[in-house]
Amino acid sequence: MTSLNRALGAFYGLALGDALGMPTQSLDRQTIKARFGQITDLQDAGPLQPIAANMPKGSITDDTEQAILVGELLVEGQGRIEPAVLAQRLIEWEAEMQAKGSQDLLGPSTKRAIEMILAGHSPEEAGRYGTTNGAAMRITPVGIAANVTDPVRFIAAVVQACQVTHNTTLGISSAAAVAAVVSAGINGVDLGEALNLGQQIAQQAEAHGHWVAGGRMASRISWARSISVDSDKALLADLLYDVIGTSVASQESVVVSFALAQQVAIGEMTAFEALCMAASLGGDTDTIAAILGAMLGACLGLECWPEQMIETVKAVNHLELEPLVKGLLTLR
C-alpha cells in the first residue's frame, strides 16, 4: 500500500467520519436512538438538528473544512504555519459560514483565541485557554506532512499548528497524539503500534504549552484503551458515553476516539463499524468520528472505507482532496 493511499485514507476517513456524525452532533444518546436507531449509513440532518439543520446526507462540517484550511496553509507556507495567518483564515472561514446561515461556527477555544488576537494579544498568549478538541480535529494534515520518526521536529510542527488557539498542555498533547497515529500509519506502522506511538508522543508533547489542570492525555488514552479491550462490546458505547464522556473537552472526545480505534486494532470491529459507533454515541459525534476516521484510514488505507460512501461525500461537498494530499506528502 502506498503512502498516498494511506494519506488519502486518512483525509477521506476524516471527512466520512465527519459526515456520519453530522446529523447526530450535539444530541444526547436517547435522542439519537429515537431518531436514527444506530447510525449505519449517511443520514440527512433533519429540521431538528441544532447545529446543521436540514443539511443533506453526506455533508461535512467544520472538522473537515478546518483540516483542509490547515493543509492549504502548510502547503502555502512550505511546512510552516504562521499563527497570524491561521487566525486570519479562521476568521474568514467563520464569516463565510455565517453568510451561508450555518450554525457550525468556531468552537469555544478558537473563538476566544481569535478575539484575543483581534484585540492585539500575541498568538502565544491567545491560545493559553484552549483545552477543547479543535486543534486535534484539524491536525491530520500535519500528520501527513510531518514524519513522526523525528519526534522533536514532529512535535514542533504540531505546536506550530496548535499554538494560536490551543497553546495548552491538553490542547497540544491531544493534537500530537492524533497526528502521531496518522503519521505512523502513513509510514506503514500497524494500527496497534501506531496507537502506542500516539500515546508516547502525547506524553512528550505535554512539555509544551501553558499547563492546565485536567487528566493527562497519555494516561487517559492508556486507560481508555485498556477498558476498551476489557469491555463487553454491547456495553462499550455506554461506558464511553457515561464514564469517559463525549464532550468537546479534548480529554474526553479524543480519548474516546482512541478507545474505539483499539477495538479495531484487536479485531473486535471493522473500521467502518467503529466509525458508526462513534457517530451514534451522542455528544461531539462528528469530531469523535472524524478523528477516528483519520487515524484508522492512515493505518488501514483508503480501501477500509465503503467506496460508494466516499463518492457520495466527495460529490455532496465538491471535495477533491488528492492534490492537497499530494502537496502535503511532498512536504514530508
DSSP string computed for 268-290: SS-HHHHHHHHHHSSBSHHHHHH
What does the CA dihedral 4, 10, 13, 14 come to, rounded to 10 degrees?
-130
Alpha-carbon dihedral sign for residues 227, 205, 197, 269 = positive
pTM of the model: 0.97
Amino acid 82: pLDDT? 87
Query: Among 309, 327, 330, 329, which residue's Cα sits nearest to residue 15?
Result: 309
pLDDT band at 31; cut points 50, 70, 90: very high
Burial (CB < 10 A; 0-12, 13-18, 19+), residue 101, is exposed
Query: Among 184, 185, 195, which residue's Cα sits nearest to residue 217?
Result: 195
Q: What residue type is assigned to position 218 of the chain? A: A
- All 3 cell numbers of residue 90? 479562521
- Return d(Cα 96, Cα 10) in angstroms, integer: 26
Query: Among 257, 249, 238, which residue's Cα sits nearest to residue 33?
Result: 238
> Quick one: average pLDDT of 185-196?
98
237: Cβ–Cβ under 8 A, 6 or more apart, which residues?
29, 277, 280, 281
- All 3 cell numbers of residue 125? 498568549
pLDDT at 37 over 80: yes
Amino acid 83: pLDDT? 83
Amino acid 291: pLDDT? 98
> Quick one: average pLDDT of 301-321?
98
Amino acid 80: pLDDT? 94
pLDDT band at 193; cut points 50, 70, 90: very high
Mean residue pLDDT of the chain comes to 95
Percentage with pLDDT > 90 across the chain: 87
- All 3 cell numbers of residue 163? 499554538
pLDDT at 233 over 90: no
- Return d(Cα 74, Cα 227) in angstroms, integer: 37
3-class secondary structure, 78: coil
Amino acid 98: pLDDT? 83
Domains along the chain with CATH numbers: 3-210+217-331 (1.10.4080.10)
Give the H or E element holding residue 139.
none
pLDDT at 197 over 80: yes
Per DSSP, 24 falls in state G
Amino acid 189: pLDDT? 98
> How far, in Å, are 19, 228, 254, 302 from residue 299 at the CA level?
20, 19, 17, 9
- Return d(Cα 288, Cα 224) in angstroms, integer: 14
- All 3 cell numbers of residue 85? 495567518
Query: Among 184, 278, 192, which residue's Cα sits nearest to residue 240?
Result: 278
Amino acid 328: pLDDT? 98
Burial (CB < 10 A; 0-12, 13-18, 19+), residue 44, is middle
pLDDT at 103 over 80: no
pLDDT at 185 over 80: yes
